[in-house]
Amino acid sequence: MIFTLHIWRQQDSKSDGYFELHEIDVEEGTSFLEMLDALNEQLIVAGKEAIAFDFDCREGVCGSCNLVINGTPHGKHRATTTCQQYMRDYADEKELWIEPWRATAFPIIKDLIVDRTAFEKIIQAGGYIDIRTGSAPEANTMPIAKQVADEAFDSATCIGCGACVAVCPNASATLFVAAKVSHLSSLPQGQMDNQRAKKMLIAMEGQGFGSCSNYRECERVCPKEISVSNITTMNKLLYQSS
The stretch 10-22 carries a mean pLDDT of 97
The total of other beta-carbon atoms located within 10 Å of residue 55's CB is: 18
Mean pLDDT of 22-51: 97
176 closest CA partner among 109, 127, 215, 236: 127
What is the rounded average pLDDT of the residues 66-72? 96
pTM: 0.94
- Return d(Cα 53, Cα 40) in angstroms, integer: 10
Q: Is the pLDDT of residue 179 over 80?
A: yes
Helix (H, G, I), strand (E, B) or coil at 26: coil
Least Cα distance to 73 among 178, 195, 175 occurs for 175
Of 88, 102, 7, 83, nearest to 49 by C-alpha is: 7
User: pLDDT tens for residues 100-144?
Assistant: 999 999 999 999 999 999 999 999 999 988 777 677 777 677 788
Calculate the dihedral angle through the C-alpha atoms of 79, 83, 85, 88, rounding to the nearest 10 degrees. Answer: 180
Domain with CATH 1.10.1060.10 in the chain: 117-240
Instruction: Give the DSSP letter string of 163-226.
Output: HHHHH-TT-B-HHHHHHHHHHHHHSGGGGG-TTHHHHHHHHHHHTT-B---S--HHHHH-TT--
Stretch 1-25: mean pLDDT: 97
Write the pLDDT tens digit of every residue in 195-238: 999 999 999 999 999 999 999 999 999 999 999 999 999 999 99
Return d(Cα 23, Cα 46) in angstroms, integer.
14
- Surface-to-core class of residue 21, CB atoms within 10 Å of its CB (0-12 exposed, 13-18 middle, 19+ buried): exposed
CA distance 75 to 68: 6
Q: Cα(219)–Cα(227) distance, rounded to whole angstroms?
A: 6
Every domain of the chain with CATH number 3.10.20.30 lies at 2-99
What is the fold of 2-99?
A: Ubiquitin-like (UB roll) (3.10.20)
**Quick one: pLDDT at residue 178?**
98
Strands, E assignment, 18-120: 18-25, 68-69, 72-73, 95-99, 108-110, 113-114
Is 117-240 assigned to CATH 2.40.240.10? no
